[in-house]
Amino acid sequence: MSTIHAVFITAMSLYFVFWSDLFSDHQHTGIVTLRSSQFSIVGLGVSVGYFFADLGMIFLYYPTLGGKEYVIHHSLSTIAVAYSMLSGEMQLYTYMCLISEVTTPEINMRWYLDTAGHKRSAAYLINGLAIFLAWLMARILLFLYMFHHIYLHYDQVLDSLTGYPDEPLWLFSGLFGSSGTIYHELNVVWEDHQGIEENLGKKTVRDIT
């Protein structure tokens, strides 16, 4: 289910971020952080449903499918995506973050190959390289692009918060949410670094060749 969701939401996110006119500065006027459409709302709704189902599985089989960092990550993701879906705000940046789901199929394939006993196979090595490239593009370079976009539209981001009586609380919540997500990402990056380091080890390459 996670792979199907990842393929779906990655395609949707790439469309809205790079090809759709909905968030284009050249096609529309007004605050980019307040733009939405029925199509963009449906896409986020699918992700909210997936995150709820995934949270249910994590709680049902806790801690087999993940510890507290996974619960925090999925809970914050569910709240953030649901808020964007229901309010129609920040949907562009939500979709930018959801592009990172492109790494999910490779992570799942790594687990399948490991479970099937193919850890020394060429497929495992190629999949490890795919994880590295996908992570570099979707979770590092893309986020640099997102922060650059926020910088260019910083006045609009602030305008979208205007009118909230608890504006400092919203900013603090965003900082807290980012910290929790970064903690999870660093944990996964460290695990994948170990896996990639093992994949590219001399003994592994020698065994494959």
Which pLDDT tens digit goes with each residue over 132-144? 999 899 888 998 9
Q: What's the whole-number mean pLDDT along residues 12-26?
A: 91
Q: Please say if the pLDDT value at position 162 is more than 80.
A: no
Residue 62 backbone zone (phi > 0: left; psi -120 to 50: alpha; other: beta): beta
Containing domain of residue 149, as a range? 2-208
Residue listed under structure tokens 């903690």: 183
Structure tokens at 192: 């994948």
Cβ-proximal residues to 123 (8 Å cutoff; 6+ apart), any chain: 113
Q: Please say if the pLDDT value at position 194 is more than 90.
A: no
Cβ(51)–Cβ(76) below 8 Å: no
Total domains, the chain: 1
Q: Please say if the pLDDT value at position 91 is more than 50.
A: yes
Q: What is the pLDDT of residues 98-109, one digit of tens each?
A: 998 999 999 899
How far apart CA 81 and CA 49 sit, in angstroms, is 10
Strands (DSSP E) contained in the chain are none
